[in-house]
Amino acid sequence: MKEDDAMLIREKDENLKNILKRYAYYIEQAVNYGTHILLWPSKEDREELNVIKLYLRYFLDMLDALSILVKAGSGEPTKSLLRSAFEINLSVHFIYEKHTASRANAFWVVEKMDQLKELDKMNPKGKHYQQAKQNFDKEGIIAFGSGINGKKVRAQIKEIEDYLNAPELKNAVDEYKRLKQTKTGKIYWYNLFDGVDTIESMARILGKHTFYDILYRHWSKTVHGNNITKDKIHFDEHGNSFIKPIRHPVHLAWTAKMACNLAINTFGFYVRESYPERMAEFRAWEEPFIRDYEIDLGHEFIT
């Protein structure tokens, strides 16, 4: 079946395609630079740097996906990716803010504890297996338990438990267990060691609350599937309303510029904290990059 071109036109005219390619180009250039600094070798094996590198890799995933959506002229889904990119930016800053080694260990401990919870639901001998099976069977989503190798699952559980017994993780494990006794609901790595309760609190501590309040909250409506009106309805000169088509390229110059701003801030902070001796290299990339995209993306061409 062919799409209804009143709601979707995949083939765009050459002028629009060229504009969208230009927008995407700068995000792609940021991704390209990020792939290089991600692979810079470290003089020492620091656990916090390993965590930061994983965050940076995920950040590049978000930017790369943004470049694809921008080139396709798909504006609305970019908000979810910008939100994730901003949250990664906050996490990287928060790890380095203080207690860096402890926060890095907290990340791994919470990550592994979450994995244990999920594996327990897949372990036929686990205490949460039967409840998980009942829930799946009741909701009829998928056949629960088919293809599960209990022996393999238990081997994975043992491997994680051995990992968590490492002496360097003892303080983080003890802190997790302490917090488990006092906190209701899910535990996040940034809760440990007298951290923060929420991403909003993190943004406030890091001096980024205005950004959070104005943009992150707005992007969250898209993430949670509630942003169903803004930029979705068009009114003609007679006051008649129409639903705008999907892949509507609204605000994509702004999206590209925001993605580039987040990239510069994240990359610059990463280099300054992890490779201060290489800041001159970063500046040599940053200055012409900012100059070019500020000129090219200074105005929104699509409304």
Q: Could you read off the pLDDT of 20-65 as tens digits, one per residue?
A: 999 999 999 999 999 999 999 987 778 889 999 999 999 999 999 9
- Of residues 275 and 6, the one with the higher pLDDT is 275
Query: Worst-scoring range by mean pLDDT, 100-109, 138-147, 226-235, 247-256?
Result: 138-147
Classify residue 184 as exposed, middle or buried by CB count within 10 Å of its CB (0-12, 13-18, 19+): exposed
The encoded tokens of residue 148 equal 């599960």
What predicted TM-score, i.e. pTM, was given to this entire model?
0.89
At 230, the amino acid letter reads K
Greatest mean pLDDT among 123-132, 145-154, 279-288 lies in: 279-288
Confidence of residue 302 (pLDDT cuts 50, 70, 90): very low
With beta carbons less than 8 A apart as the criterion, state whether 63 and 31 touch.
yes
Confidence of residue 303 (pLDDT cuts 50, 70, 90): very low
Q: Which pLDDT does position 145 carry in this prediction?
A: 58
The encoded tokens of residue 117 equal 């919870």
DSSP state of 123: -
Confidence of residue 157 (pLDDT cuts 50, 70, 90): very high
Interacting residues of 94 by C-beta distance below 8 A, sequence separation 6+: 103, 190, 195, 196, 202, 205, 206
pLDDT at 230 over 70: yes
Q: Which pLDDT does position 120 carry in this prediction?
A: 85
Interacting residues of 174 by C-beta distance below 8 A, sequence separation 6+: none
Pairing of strands 241-243, 233-235: antiparallel
Task: Compute the distance between CA of residue 139 and CA of residue 146 in angstroms, rounded to an integer.
Answer: 16
Q: Which pLDDT does position 207 carry in this prediction?
A: 96
Q: Which pLDDT does position 150 carry in this prediction?
A: 78
